[in-house]
Amino acid sequence: MSGNAKEDFEKYWGKFITQLKGRLMAVSKNQKLSYHIAKLQLTDIAANWDSEYEESGRWLIQYCNENPEKGQLVREVLLEQMCFSEIQPKKDYSEVMNYAIPVAGAIAGFGISKLAHAKTVVRAVSTIAPTVLLYPSAKAVGTTLNQNSKAELLDEYILQLEKYHQGVISIIDE
């Protein structure tokens, strides 16, 4: 196993990251992803490195048996040191903006029709049309911005784990 230890670790690390990212994505669909929730999920998934019932846990047990000193260092990194640092999430696109943008369009439409001395029907259409047209656009933009913000936050948390990944690789390579 010693010759393949790095390759095996890379395989199990990839599965670990995929599982963690999937869990964080699932949690963030139902609630806002916070530091404490991310930390809880990391602790839960990282416990697989210490379980004889998981592939990654069996790999670590075998590695520790074959390389006791290095194995203890790897175990320490994966089970004790690995953690997230708190990240401040970006402000969400407010639901108020879904209504504020169409209302601003309605006010602009009304103002332009008033300046043009338009008749009552034209004035009403000039007020209502921007509202009807802008609401779906504002809602779509807000949804996209919130989804992008969630994805960026999730990626920032996952990126923090790279230093632990590199640390384990350097221990194995010694």
The domain spans of the chain are: 2-89+160-173, 96-144
Answer for the pair 157, 89: CB distance below 8 angstroms, yes or no.
no
Answer for the pair 106, 130: CB distance below 8 angstroms, yes or no.
yes
User: How many Å apart are CA 93 and CA 144, to the nearest integer?
Assistant: 9
Of the chain, the end-to-end C-alpha distance in Å amounts to 15
Answer for the pair 20, 41: CB distance below 8 angstroms, yes or no.
yes
* Stretch 79-93: mean pLDDT: 86
User: CB count, 10 Å around CB of 82?
Assistant: 20
User: How many Å apart are CA 48 and CA 57, to the nearest integer?
Assistant: 6
For 109-165, the pLDDT digits (tens) are: 888 888 888 888 888 888 888 888 888 888 888 888 888 888 899 999 999 999 999
pLDDT of residue 74: 95
Answer for the pair 123, 70: CB distance below 8 angstroms, yes or no.
no
**For residue 90, pLDDT beyond 90:** no
